[in-house]
Structure 1
């Protein structure tokens, strides 16, 4: 703690499983309130199983957006990007945690400018060049000595057992190298099998050390302990660990695990908890299970009965992700036509996340992105482009625009390999959404043009109409409001009264917003009210959008009390689905309405609410609002 309290740059190094991340997180939480300008965290995946370390440019992109830089303003050149990061962080009291660094090259560009902040780096290496160049302070975390490790074992298995078998207890400490992770795995078995003498456990560990292929270097003890623990599992639990080795992470739900195993959820939950009892998994949130990188790497290396067994497990996982994500997308984003899906394999759990579909997306999107990469790598092209479709609107609404761009590019590549022009059109439309959010309007228009051609050639009328709605939005972003209104009115003609209510409501809202942009508040008010009246079954985002549009029309007509109610309702719906940045936009706009009306106390209150909402999001729009309203921070 003394090392962290001094600020500057601290490198916590040590072998795998020694507790670097645990120490860093514990220390950071204890002193977090000293850093009032913000906290930044990134897992650099320097030693994660099966993947490359995260490029520093990707981390910088995320950090810059968190500091209020608009995505379109993030420099493309890595050196310029790093320079901007140093400039923005100079003099600020920031706490930055860079976890699991592969080496000095990965973190060099992630170091902030000079100031009173603290940067904590964890790595298996000591990063000597970094210590020399920036004066970082080393904190080498060594395994506990024999007495400390014995105390850890005693704390887990009890004094009576270790006193009864002191020689066996000390051999267990020696066989695990004193590493906390390895000790935890061994102690878990001792606790769950109280009839098993410590001498028997020590003998099994002794045999494991003599027969196993080891990880390189300091991982030998952990590898041996994990192999020993795996062999001690019941056959079904052992199969569960082996199958979960194909899961891309970062964690797994019961439904996803059940799909991979082709087992009922209650039985799967029992198996997962058996792995928790063996200290091979942790239930870090109710119903969500994760593993240490070393355990994940060990599980990924376990042998399958054949390639087909693994491929079928991955196929079932991707089916679960795809079908459930599509159901969630249709529950949250109702103003979009559904794409057809091939049937899921037998044994796949297709969850029905509604009415909490937005929460499900927030929980699952890191897994969905990892599954999307897995589909791309393993040649599941149909899953790759359909998952891109399912993720599209959530990633856009949450401001995860670079993830949106990458997912649509991967989906587009898969569609082109399949020779599926309709799938290609879907991904081009999603890519246009990313390009426009990133300020690349010309590129967005070109992607939409090609998407429209593809939908038109396929006779996909509903998807063509949705593409026109995207074109309206891009025109709005680009400031061409006359053309925007013309296209919105043509879109409305596509959905006459009596057609799908959510589609017509969305078209009415597009017309209303286009009229607002041209200062035509009277017609805009009528169209916004019509959108709410005809929008039975609107998803939460569309409903919140329409309340925001109505509030803007009311404010334009000087009806500030009505506008306050509309913006408040919009913000409430956005907050309910976790769209903190969009809620902050609505509340900031409400503050502007009060300010323009001379109601400064109400304006201050709205701005403070906007600031509070923005604080719950990493969305670049939220960061921009936080920077703009910093004067209202209490």
Structure 2
């Protein structure tokens, strides 16, 4: 037939094997209604009721007419199907044989009037038309009612087929199906009768009698009744070995043939996204060792006959492994004409041990029609028989929820014609290395796919009505399909509850908000199954990693946290990674999905308090001591702190050179901030202050102004609990400096005066000089250069009493700078040249850079633009050599002005554009805005450019 319209699964229209796109979900609902009523009039009132029920859209009739018109447009005369207007409604005119639903009903009806062999063939064809849940993905009350009735029809046809098959002597073939049916409904007496009869005729009379006794006990316990007369009579006839129960071996008996098992569960209704992963599975199926992948026009037979492909789909519990495997499998059923085998290996089950491979093999043998009387007793012989039965067959074998490679390996088929999909929460290294498995690690869904999942479940209108709540739900679920499914299911069950309420629950409760009575749909329970499979050491490490400061962790930091050696930590982290509870990126850093981390933290709180605190102290000491080493490499002239020894089991990282130190600070910066927060929470005041101190050089050189303020706020509060007045003075001074830079002048002056008062009270001349120097910078940012010069002069006078030539040089340069800003270029030049000489003599390249920068400013403002340029260039070279990007931006800004004054606009533009990018990266919005104005002026009115650059 040219056209094939399907509703016994997803609603589809195919023409000569080509899928015709019929639009979005609501338009498919319209098509579904017309298909169910094919060749019968559907009035407008019926259409509106069946598609929208009591939620009619605005101008419902025109909307419905528009949907029908769109449907007409996708149908052509060649499709042998048309929608026509008739009798106040619409009719879908189509050959009933082209619609799977009507063909199914015709086959079932025809089978009831046929001899057994023909009836069996008709019923098998009818049952084979089903491809999952009818109208999959569509939700209306009318379709739900039709779906329920159709399911009853399917079950009836399936049981009719079993009855006929039993009369034809094919009891062995139907036994696996009856095993499943009996498990699904253990009180269905018709199924029980079929199961008992099949067992009896397969030579397993004892099993048939045991099943009867169990059923009878359940009926009495649950319903207070005995089995029905028919089942009791069958039981007695089996006891009497009634020969009439045995079907004839000739005449009406059907010719024995290999069964075609169809064990796949229905495809997931809400599957969304995963296009990349589905494509990778397609590629794995199509690729044969030593050959090029088949071309796109290769027939399905050639593609299905590929070498065994084992796609071990890893990923944490709830990440969607089984959904992906089933979706891919159902999309490619035509490639496996010899059937599909499916088994849940229960590798991470809450209520049972993993299924032994021998049990799975026996189930497969039954499904493949192996004669029960000829199945060998020895497990290895059973596995060999299984492999023999599937050799040369084009079958799909899905091994779901494998505990490890050892459980899955015995179930791999012989030959090269089958395809195998294995899902597991572990990386099945044994399958990958010994059996050449194609490994596919499943990650979380992206934001777009997550939003699409919610839209499919809840409808576009509800999702569009609360965009902020949807965005928050997507973010909190972090792309975890099970989490999204739980939230979507609850929201669907409560259509009147705003999505914002579900977001608030998830925000407040974290993973606990995803608890559910059904263990299979409860994220905490699903994660607990993985947790219970860990060793004690792995469980402790998992919990502690949930508490680690920062968003991720390096191997050395993890070793300090756990207190294990580096080799042992490597093994534990690898085990957690293989269990899909931990991720490792390409840079060797480890992290957890937010929901898994929340669960890990919950498990950590079951550990003794001293174990948790000791672990965090080791981690904080790792960051503190490594940062102290790094800070000394970045600024060797800075007086080092006197640190206590790190906690036992902490492994601070040695850093070989300044470049390695800067790279470490860049990478670990979020973790260092989190480590200080951890120390603050535990009132480890000394560590809080010391961590701020070790971050100071990195923060100032890299322009982390807001982080600089945050860490010194914490450090100043902690310093109040310390006995050292110098620590308190320094904390107030550096906090004041951070406030000043961010334009919060009053707060800056308050803290700087407190710093100066503490230093004077304790006769601390070093901190007095530094406090005056910082006050000078604060007043400069307020535009009061004269008051700034007064403080800079005080700082210089004090520094000359300290026998510290580098400190004196810094103060000289500051005095020179402010003198220049007040217009005295000659005196400013003398001060800055003297500072440069001291810096050079005492090997302080950052100091030299500052002096050169000041000299560039002086020469430019003195009108000596050609002399200013090399000074700025010297400063830039030194700042770049020491990765001081904060001052690089300032010097670039300054260098642009003499270039502009000389008419060298291209050079000025290049300097300012680079400075602009650095200012933006550093969050220096005022400086960025000023540079942008300079660039704009350079493009339009270069003569109006300001003559000065950034404040220092």
In structure 2, what is the equivalent of residue 470 of structure 1? 774
For residue 524 of structure 1, the aligned residue among 828, 842, 850 is 828
Matched, 1:283 2:458: no
Are 2:428 and 1:301 equivalent residues in the alignment? no
Q: 1:76-475, aligned counterparts within 5 Å?
A: 144=271, 159-160=309-310, 166-168=341-343, 187=424, 189-194=426-431, 215-217=512-514, 221-233=522-534, 236-265=537-566, 267-284=568-585, 286-303=587-604, 305-333=607-635, 336-353=638-655, 354-356=657-659, 357-418=661-722, 421-475=725-779
Correspondence 1:504 to 2:808: yes
The residue aligned with 1:601 is 906
Q: In structure 2, how many angstroms separate the alpha carbons of the residues matched to 1:620 and 1:278?
A: 46
| Cα distance in 1 for residues equivalent to 2:582 and 2:866 | 54
Q: Deviations over 1:390-449 (max 9, x none)?
A: 334543454444433332222222233456644332321122112211223333222112
3-state SS of the aligned residue for 1:144? Answer: coil
TM-score by length of 1: 0.63
Indicate conservation of the 8 Å contact 1:150/1:170, yes or no: no
CA separation of 1:488/1:216 partners in 2, compared to 1, >3 Å: closer, same or farther?
closer
Deviation at 1:506, TM superposition (A): 2.0
Aligned equivalents of 1:255, 1:573: Cα separation in 2: 33
Shift of 1:293: 0.6
Matched position secondary structure for 1:405 = helix
Q: Is the 8 A contact 2:796 2:812 kept in 1?
A: yes
CA distance in 2, matches of 1:505, 1:270: 53
Residues 361-414 of structure 1, C-alpha deviations (whole Å, 9 max, x = no match): 332222122122211112212212222333345434544444333322222222
* Alignment of 1:590 onto 2:895: yes
| Structure 2 counterpart of 1:564, from 865, 869, 879 | 869
1:37-48 correspondence to structure 2 within 5 Å: none
Deviation of the 1:542 alpha carbon: 4.2
> Shift in Å at residue 314 of structure 1?
0.9
3-state DSSP of counterpart to 1:168: strand
Give how far 1:594 is off. Answer: 1.4
For the structure 1 residues 300 and 397, does the alpha-carbon distance in structure 2 shift closer, same or farther, using more than 3 Å as the test?
A: same
1:66 alignment partner in structure 2: none
Report which structure shows greater RCO (CA 8 Å, sep ≥6): 1
Question: Cα distance 1:485–1:265, how it changes in 2: closer, same or farther (>3 A)?
Answer: farther
2:875 is paired with a residue whose SS is: helix
Which segment drifts farther, 236-245 or 331-340?
331-340
The separation in 2 between residues aligned to 1:297 and 1:272, in whole angstroms, is 18
C-alpha deviations, 1:5-32, integer Å up to 9, x for none?
A: xxxxxxxxxxxxxxxxxxxxxxxxxxxx
In the TM superposition, what is the alpha-carbon distance from 1:168 to its structure 2 partner? 3.1
Deviates more, 1:158-167 or 1:525-534: 158-167
Q: Secondary structure at the match of 1:347?
A: coil
Q: Aligned partners of 2:834 and 2:729: how far apart in 1?
A: 31
Find the counterpart in structure 1 of residue 791 from structure 2: 487
The 1-side partners of 2:752 and 2:522 are apart by 56
| Cα drift, residue 247 of structure 1 | 0.9
- Which ranges of structure 1 fall in alignment gaps of 5 or more residues? 1-140, 199-212
Distance 1:553 1:393, change over 3 A: same
Unaligned runs of 5+ in 2: 1-267, 286-307, 313-328, 330-338, 351-400, 404-420, 438-509, 940-952
Change (3 A) 1:430 1:361: same
After superposition, the Cα gap between the structure-2 partners of 1:234 and 1:487, relative to the gap in structure 1 and judged at 3 Å, is same
1:115 aligns with none
Stretch moving more, 456-465 or 547-556? 456-465
Please say if residues 399 and 621 of structure 1, whose CA atoms lie closer than 8 Å, have aligned partners that are also in contact.
no
CA RMSD between the two structures: 4.4
2:859 aligns with 554
1:264 Cα deviation after fit: 4.2
Deviation readout 1:467-499 (Å, 9 max, x if unpaired): 222122223223333343343344334444994
Does the CA contact (< 8 Å) of 1:335 and 1:538 recur in 2? no
Partner of residue 819, structure 2: 515
Distance 1:371 1:560 in 2: 48
| 1:612–1:311 CA distance, 2 compared to 1 (3 A) | closer
Q: CA separation in 2, counterparts of 1:261 and 1:553?
A: 56
- Structure 1 counterpart SS, 2:580: coil
- For 2:867 and 2:875, locate their aligned partners in 1 and report how far apart those are by CA, in whole Å: 12
CA displacement at 1:515 relative to structure 2: 2.1
How far the C-alpha of 1:174 sits from its partner, in A, is 11
Going from structure 1 to structure 2, the CA distance change for 1:272 and 1:510 (only over 3 Å counts) comes to: farther
Deviations 1:139-194 (A, max 9, x none): xx99637999995996899833679995236978999xxxx9x9x99646142353
C-alpha distance after superposition, 1:509-533 (max 9, x if no partner): 2222122222222333333333333
Which segment drifts farther, 509-518 or 230-239?
230-239
> Aligned with 1:439: secondary structure?
coil
Distance of 1:418 and 1:499 partners within structure 2: 28
Summarize the Cα distance change of 1:149–1:404 in structure 2 as closer, same or farther, 3 Å threshold. closer
- 1:311 Cα offset (Å): 0.7
Q: What is aligned with 1:67?
A: none
CA distance in 2, matches of 1:154, 1:174: 26
1:318 Cα deviation after fit: 1.5
